[in-house]
Amino acid sequence: MDPAALKRSWAAVVRHGDAVPSFFYAILFMAHPQLRSMFPMSMAAQRDRLVSALGRIVSNVDQIDAAVPFVQGLGRDHRRFDVRAEHYPMVGDALLRTLAHFLGEAWTPQLAEDWGAAYQLVAQVMSEAAERSAASTPAYWTATVVGHERRGLDIAVVQLHPKQPYPYVAGQSCAMEIPDRPRLWRYYSPANLPRPDGRIDLHVKAVPGGQISTAIVHGLQPGDVVKLSAPVGQQLTLAPGATRDLLLLAGGTGLAPLKALVEQVAAEGGRRRVTLIVGARTQPDLYDLPAFEALARQAGWLTVVPALSHDPWYPGERGTVGEVAQRLGRWHDHDVYVCGSAEMTTATREALLAGGVPAEQIRCEDYNNDPYRPMAGDAVTELEEVPTR
C-alpha cells in the first residue's frame, strides 16, 4: 500500500467540492435504494459528513493506530442509525466508484487496490467495535413521552420514561430522534439526576427554523415513543472528589444539565456552595424559576440569581450572564460550569477569563469536539447535531 498515493488522490478528489458527496450518494442510492431511508430527507447537512470523514480516515490509513479509538467510536455510534455489517461493502463500493469517477485517468488498478485495502481496514475496525458494543449495549434506547408541558413563549419541558434502564451521569447529553422527524437527531441534556423510576426531564426551546426543536415543542405528545442514543459528554459532569464551590451559568435551556448538577450536589449533602445565574431574554423566558426558588428556600448552600438581557422593566439583575457574574463577585476560587448557546458560551467564557478565573476551572461543552462531527476543525457549522439550547 502506498499511503502517499492515497493522500495525493484524495486531495485531488476533494478539489471537486460538493460534487463529490452528491455523486457518492447518488451512486450509493441507485445501487442500493433500500439505504435511502437511513438518511434524512434533506441531505444538505449530511453531505459534508460521511464522505469527507471517510476519505480523510481512509487516506490516512498509515496513521490508523492513532485514529483507532475515534474510528471505533464512529462504529459504535453508527449503530443507532441501523448501520449493520453488510452495509460496509456497499459504502466501500460507492466510495471507490466515486474516486474512479473524479480521478479519471489517474485511477489505476494499483490505486484501486490500495483504496480497497485501506477501506477494508477502516471498515473492519468500525464493524468490529460495533459488534463488540452490541454485546453489552442496545443500538439505542426507546422512551415513552409521559409529560409535555409548554412554558413561556417557546419552551417545553418533556418528560421521558425509557423502556430499558438508561444509565447516565448528571451533565451528560443524549441524542434524541422523534417520530415526526425520522433520521434527524438532536442532543438534549437530562435536567435531573437518574431517578428510581428512571424518568428523565428534557428542556427544549423551539429554535426559530429548527426542524427538530420546533416539532418537539409544538408537536410531541404524551404517548409518543422517541429514540435516545447512549449518553455522551464529560465536560459538564462534576469531577469526582472536587471540593471547590460552584458557579453555574445558564443561558436559556442550557439550564437543564446545570439543574442536574444542582440535584447531584444536593444528593451529596450540599457540601459545596452553589451560585446559579439563570440567563434569559425576558421574564416569561424564566421557565423553571419556581422550582429553583423552592429549592433555594430549603437549601442554604444554593443561591439562584435570574439575569435578564432584554427586559428593561425587570427589577432584578439585568444584562448578560457574564456581565451579571462579574457584577456579583470574584470567582477565581470556584469551579465554573457554563451552558447555553455557542455564542453565549463563548462570550461568557471570555468574560470569566478576563475576570481572572483560571481556564482549567471553566467547563463548557466543546462544540468542535462533538463526537458525531468527525475530525475537529471541519468547516461544518450548521445547527444540526450540536446540542441545542
Contact residues: another protein, CB under 8 A: 19, 22-23, 25-27, 29-31, 33, 36, 41-44, 153-154, 206, 208-211, 214, 281-282, 310, 312-313
Backbone angle region of 70, left / alpha / beta, with phi > 0 → left and psi within -120 to 50 → alpha = alpha
CB 200 within 8 A of CB 146: no
End-to-end alpha-carbon separation of the chain, Å? 46
By DSSP bridging, strand 200-205 and strand 225-228 are: unpaired
Nearest approach in angstroms of CB 214 to another protein is 7
Q: Return the number of the residue (77 or 311) whose C-beta is nearest another protein.
A: 311
- Provide the minimum distance between the beta carbon of 303 and another protein in the complex, in angstroms, as a whole number: 28
CB of residue 259 to another protein, shortest distance in Å? 24
The smaller minimum CB distance to another protein, of residues 161 and 183, is found at: 183
Nearest to 61 by CA among 95, 108, 104: 95
Between 44 and 242, CB nearer to another protein? 44
> Cβ distance 238 to 258 under 8 Å?
no
Residues in the chain: 389
4 vs 379, beta carbon nearer another protein: 379
Grid cell of 202 as nine digits: 428534557
Quote the least distance from Cβ 22 to another protein, whole Å.
Answer: 5
The grid coordinates of residue 168 equal: 447516565
Single out the residue of 201, 139, 196, 141 nearest to residue 166, CA to CA. 141
CB of 178 or CB of 362, closer to another protein: 178
CB atoms within 10 A of CB 54: 23
Q: How far apart are CA 57 and CA 335, in angstroms?
A: 37
- Pick 196 or 313: Cβ nearer another protein: 313
CB of 177 to another protein, least distance (A): 17
Find the shortest distance in angstroms from Cβ 33 to another protein: 6
